[in-house]
Structure 1
Amino acid sequence: MTQIHETAYPVLPAELEEAELRTVYTPSAAEIRFVFGQFRQAPTRVLILVQLKLLQRLGYMPVVSDVPPAIIDHMCAVLGARPLPRTTLARYDRSGSKSRHQKILREYVR
């Protein structure tokens, strides 16, 4: 099977192994400090960090409601946040906040 880095448009696998979640999708202490310094609400922090890790991994930020639940659940566990309902993800995708957050993330990764 073609590896994620070998494709022109990398995509997320439907299932992820625990080791990949830990190594690829666990934010660093600096990333957590950045997000905690910028945002107050736990669901927003989770979604921002998910998008940050996806931007680093894929080179773009996919629609949040299309992200495998394992990644979002992992980020919730890392931050000690409650699991996010799928309706929250869909609502976030439609919100104006998402584009503002993505702009902040793009500036952060430069």
Structure 2
Amino acid sequence: MTTIERTAYPRFKQYPDPKELAQFYTPTGEEIQLVKSRTKSHEGFFSFMVMLKSFQRLGYFPHPECVPEAVIKHLRSSLKLQDWVKAIPSERQRYTYQKAIREYLGVKPYDKDVQKLIAILVAAEAEVKDHPADLINVALYGIGEGAIRTPCV
């Protein structure tokens, strides 16, 4: 097992079961309203929703082509969209949607300030932990547990 496999770095399941799809990838009414208010087309709506649900599940924005087909099909079905509606946004849309999703969820992007904070967290833990996977987890949990999250407004 490699170091990265022993960390908390989340990844998609390639074949999620129906319960997982329903639990993690079914949009709420609030999410649908948010996405409708920020998009102008079916493609924009769908790609924004795929990005939102992916970010909520993983804590980062995967490349749109990396989202498993099962997730895409579940979202398409949940939103009653036709098969021709694309799930991959343009680069400009990706940037715009990422910004809107971070704002909605109260998450700041990784920047130099966060990099400094992570370095401080890892340095402090390195005094008592010496395995790389443990230190990677400190960095990841530090990010997820408030280092870059801001209160939802």
TM-score w.r.t. the length of structure 2 is 0.60
Residue 51 of structure 2: aligned partner: 51
Listed as ranges, the matches of 1:11-22 within 5 Å are 11-22=11-22
Percent identity over the alignment?
32
User: For the aligned residues, what is the CA RMSD?
Assistant: 1.9
4+ residue runs of structure 1 moved beyond 3 angstroms? none
Q: In 2 relative to 1, CA 84–10 (structure 1 residues): closer, same or farther, beyond 3 Å?
A: farther
Q: How many residues align?
A: 101
Larger radius of gyration: 2
Listed as ranges, the matches of 1:1-110 within 5 Å are 7-84=7-84, 89=88, 92=89, 95-110=91-106
Shift in Å, 1:84: 4.8
Matched to 1:10, the amino acid is: P
Deviations 1:48-71, CA, capped at 9 Å, x for gaps = 111111111111010001110111
Q: In 2 relative to 1, CA 18–84 (structure 1 residues): closer, same or farther, beyond 3 Å?
A: farther
Asked whether the 8 Å contact 1:35–1:49 carries over to 2, the reply is yes
Unaligned ranges ≥5, structure 2: 1-5, 107-153
Unaligned ranges ≥5, structure 1: 1-5
